[in-house]
Each structure stands twice: as structure tokens, then as C-alpha cells.
Amino acid sequence: MKVKVKVWRQKNAKDKGGFKEYEVLTDPDSSFLEMMDVLNQDLLNKKEDPVAFDHDCREGICGACSMYINGQPHGPSKGTTTCQLHMRSFKNGDSITIEPWRASAFPVIKDLVVDRTAFDRIIQAGGYISVNTGNAVDANSIPIEKDKADEAFAAAACIGCGACVAACKNASAMLFVSAKVSHLALLPQGAPEADLRAAKMLNQMDEEGFGSCTNTQACEAMCPKEISIKHIARLNRQFFKSGFSGNQ
């Protein structure tokens, strides 16, 4: 199949950037990133600069393959990362527009690569457990309700790709922060610092320049791991509690 791709090209953070169009001959069963590999090989054969894009595991678990495809983070398939998207999702002759994440907190480094270290700083602000838990204990020595364990695992599925930020009209990181807060707060080990954690991570989120949440649910709709916005409600409750306890 042959497709036309309209790709954002930007040499560096200071460059204005713009779209360039290319034609790519690819296999319908190839992944989207494999199609990008074909494009880059064509560009290299022509002695042109290949398109820079992030990728790593190509198994949908690292969050690196973040692209805005035809106006949707990670493309048209629900619950799918870019590397899991296949070209059979498109038709022969289709035109595909590919952009980087658009958020002031995610500045463009080059082409489709953005700086997402703001997420790392949010995690460093409170996404950990500092209580000394001693030696490792047997897996079943601390009773945990199954519903809470399942919810904690569901929150921990967040891969930090930033699709929630890209989908939000305010570029809010609330879904990401709430998932990281929930997967610790729901478990006994994370409970002692739950309120302080929420305050620290939200304060860091604001410092990084992410927007506020207005509950449009676009983040949940576009999340490749289908993280629920109910975690945002839990985050808000814990933030309010941290105010009463003087942790803000």
C-alpha cells in the first residue's frame, strides 16, 4: 500500500519547524513505526536527514512512541500505543498527518521528539515511599482487599506516555499524576504518606506549567492504557485532606 505522510520537521527547540510531505510504500501488516523506519531509510538513501522519533520496546509498555496521528494521540485505535498501531488501520492512498505532543511543558527537541522530563520531576516530588519497610516480606503477609489491589494494579498500568496531556485542551497532567498517586495510596505501604504525596506532586505539576483539569474526559478517551478518570477524584480528595493536615 502507498500512503502520503505529512510529518512535522523541526531541527531543534529554537527552529520554527513546519510540515513536509512524503510518499511511503509499506505493507498493510507492518506497524506504524515500521512504516516510519521505511520512510527514514528512503530519506537516508536520498542523503536527507531522517525523521527523529522516540521508540524503545515497541511492545506498548514503555510509553516512548508518542505521536499525534491525524489529530489523535497514538492514532485512531482505542487502547493502543503508536507502536501497536498497524498500517491496516489506514487505506491505500490515505494522507496521514504526524505531529509531536503540543504542550508548553513538553518542548520539542527535534521533529517528533519532545522533552518529557517534567513527568520525571513530578515522580521525584512524591511518587515513592520513603518509609523504612525493612527486609522484603512474604507476598501474602499483608492482607489487601482484592478490589483495592485490582484498582492499584489498574492505576499502575500508566506508562507515562503523555497522551493525556496531548489530548487535554488545557494540557493537564492530572490523569498521569492521579494514576501515580492512586497505585501507591491504595496499598498499605503507601497510605502513611498519601496526602503529602498528592500535595507534592500537584505542586510540582503546577510548577512544570501543566494546565488545570476541566473534566472533559478527553484524557481517559485517548489513554492507551485506558486509565480511569476516577483516579482524579481520589487525587482531589487527598489534596483537600492534605490542606486540612497542613501539608500543602
Residue of 205, 196, 184, 182 whose CA lies nearest to 246: 196
pLDDT of residue 189: 84
pLDDT of residue 202: 95
For the chain, the domains span 2-109, 116-244
Contacts of 153 (CB under 8 A, 6+ apart): 183
Fold of domain 2-109: Ubiquitin-like (UB roll) (3.10.20)
User: Vertex 33, ends 5 and 74: CA angle to 5°?
Assistant: 80
pLDDT of residue 43: 98
Looking at the structure, give the CATH architecture of the domain made up of residues 116-244: Orthogonal Bundle (1.10)
pLDDT of residue 77: 95
CB 169 within 8 A of CB 216: yes
**Which stretches of the chain score pLDDT less than 70?**
133, 136-137, 139-140, 244-248
Contacts of 81 (CB under 8 A, 6+ apart): 60, 63, 65, 74, 159, 161, 224
pLDDT of residue 128: 85
In tens, the pLDDT along 23-66 reads: 999 999 999 999 999 999 999 999 999 999 999 999 999 999 99
User: Vertex 155, ends 217 and 167: CA angle to 5°?
Assistant: 30
Q: Measured between alpha carbons, how far is residue 184 from residues 46, 113, 129 in Å?
A: 50, 30, 8
In tens, the pLDDT along 233-246 reads: 999 998 888 776 66
CB 131 within 8 A of CB 86: no
Biggest CA-to-CA distance, the chain: 63
Q: What is the DSSP string of the chain?
A: -EEEEEEEE-SSTTS--EEEEEEEE--TTSBHHHHHHHHHHHHHHTT-PPPP---S-SSSSS-----EETTEET-SSTT--GGG-BGGGS-TT-EEEEE---BTTB-EEETTEE--HHHHHHHHHHSS--S---S---TTSS---HHHHHHHHHHHT-----HHHHH-TT-B-HHHHHHHHHHHHTSGGGGGGHHHHHHHHHHHHHHHT-B------HHHHH-TT---THHHHHHHHHHHHHHHTT--
Q: What is the distance between the terminal CA atoms of the chain, rounded to a whole angstrom?
A: 56
pLDDT of residue 78: 94
Q: Is the dihedral of CA 103, 101, 76, 61 positive or negative?
A: negative
